[in-house]
Amino acid sequence: MVIQPHSTARTLRIFGWTIVGAYAAWSFGGQQAMAAVLDPFSRNLVEQSLLTAFFLVHAAGVLRGKEIAAYASICFVVSNLLENLSVTTGFPFGAFHHSEATGPRLFNIPWLATPTYMAIGYVSWVIAQVLTDRTRPIDWTRRVTASALIGAFVFSMWDLCNDPVFHTMNKAFFYDHPGPWFGVPLSNFAGWLLTAATIHGLFAVWLARRPRQLLMRDAPPTAWWYQAVAMYALVAAGGVWRNLHGRVLQVVLPNGDAWRSADLYASMTLVTVFTMGFVVLLAGLRLGVEHGRET
């Protein structure tokens, strides 16, 4: 970790909260308001740009440049490798393909898939450090496996709460063999856990090998951790907002499965509250305990 000087840290914190505010405005009405003038790809580009900006600004408050680059590189290589492998072989996500509406791609995977892994994966990594009591640099040499696994589940919760909407309503991608979770196969979530655990595991090992003088640095302030938890909460709340304002129609998959979109949105809302919402509550309470110790 590299704790920035007070003035720099304050500037980064202000930028971070500004991005959080912009993301909130975009999620709660902005995206819907721009639907008439921006196509789905352009709207997704705006969202991914905000998430990526948050990742870079927030990470710069504590991580070294080479560590930020390492995390981004790990995300890029692992996510593209496993998603391309799944498109061609069916492992690990199941056989699927992206629609043309998702924009330019690297081989079979849209370029905009990588920012999702980087930004939401990064916020999930931060929360995993809170939940495994790894908030000091010296802690990064222990509970490496636990941190990677918890981070993988925190990240995969987002996919569990959103993929049915992306697949069924947005038609961003299609599965050759639709599954029981509103058309999403169970293999998809096994693939997400594997991909997220690989990314977080490799990054955890990278951080554990940093020089001892860097491991002995002070822990980041509690406010730094709260900002990442706030962004994760906004991502969850944005999904709930989308569900509450979704189109009402009858959905029929190519395999004949059918249901009302209202049932899909209600299910995703409940799952979001009891997975991502619970993680936000748990991390917030954990940070409250940490703050009490500091004061």
Task: Look at 99-103, 145-149, 277-281, 284-288 and tell me which has the smallest mean pLDDT.
Answer: 99-103
Buried b (16+ CB within 10 A) or exposed e, 278-293: ebbeebbebbeebeee
Report the pLDDT value the prediction gives residue 218, as an integer from 0 to 100. Answer: 67
Convert the pLDDT of each residue in 251-262 to its tens digit. Answer: 887 777 888 999
Q: How many CA atoms lie within 13 A of 108 on its CB side?
A: 17
Convert the pLDDT of each residue in 180-238 to its tens digit. Answer: 999 999 999 999 999 999 999 999 999 888 766 665 566 788 999 999 999 999 999 99
Tell me which DSSP letter residue 270 carries: H
Percent of the chain scoring above 70 in pLDDT: 94
Tokens matching residue 141: 């040499």
For the residues 91-119, what does the mean pLDDT come to?
Answer: 93
Block residue for tokens 């930020």: 68
The string of DSSP codes covering 28-76 is IIIHHHTTTTS-HHHHHHHHHHHHHHHHHHHHHTTS-HHHHHHHHHHHH
| Average pLDDT along the chain | 91
Report the pLDDT value the prediction gives residue 191, as an integer from 0 to 100. Answer: 98
The string of DSSP codes covering 80-144 is HHHHHHHHHH-TTT-SEEE-GGG--EETTEETTHHHHHHHHHHHHHHHHHHHTT--SGGGGGSSH
Percent of the chain scoring above 90 in pLDDT: 75
Whether the pLDDT of residue 124 is over 90: the answer is: yes
Domain residue extents for the chain: 12-294
Convert the pLDDT of each residue in 134-174 to its tens digit. Answer: 888 778 788 899 999 999 999 999 999 999 999 989 999 99
Q: What is the CB neighbour count within 10 angstroms for residue 25?
A: 13
For the residues 81-88, what does the mean pLDDT come to?
Answer: 97
Statement: the pTM of the whole predicted model exceeds 0.95: no
Model confidence band, residue 9 (pLDDT cutoffs 50, 70, 90):
confident
165 contacts 173 by C-beta, under 8 angstroms: no
Q: Closest by alpha carbon to 52, among 84, 76, 86? A: 76
| 280 vs 226: CA distance, rounded Å | 10
